[in-house]
Amino acid sequence: MVTRSLTLKDESATRALGTQIAALLDVGDVVRLFGDLGAGKTTLARAVIEALTGEADAPSPTYTLVQTYETDAGHVLAHADLYRLDDEDELEELGLDEALEHGFTLIEWPGNAPSFAPPDRLDLSLTETEVGVREARLEGHGRWEGLIGEF
Ligand SMILES: Nc1ncnc2c1ncn2[C@@H]1O[C@H](COP(=O)(O)OP(=O)(O)OP(=O)(O)O)[C@@H](O)[C@H]1O
Ligand SMILES: [Mg+2]
Ligand 1 centroid to residue 74 C-alpha, Å: 29
pLDDT at residue 13, as a whole number: 98
pLDDT at residue 98, as a whole number: 87
What is this structure's pTM? 0.97
User: How far is residue 82's CA from residue 75's CA, in Å, rounded to a whole number?
Assistant: 22
**Contact by Cβ (8 Å): 150, 130:** no
pLDDT at residue 92, as a whole number: 87
Rounded to 5°, angle at Cα 64 from 76 and 41: 70
User: How far is residue 141's CA from residue 144's CA, in Å, rounded to a whole number?
Assistant: 5
Ligand 1 in contact with 37 (CB < 6 A)? yes
Task: Tell which CATH architecture fits domain 2-150.
Answer: 3-Layer(aba) Sandwich (3.40)
Share of the chain above pLDDT 90, in %: 88
Question: Residue ranges per domain, the chain?
Answer: 2-150
Ligand 2 centroid to residue 120 C-alpha, Å: 23
Exposure string of 24-37, with b = 16+ CB inside 10 Å and e = fewer, is ebeebbbbbbbbee
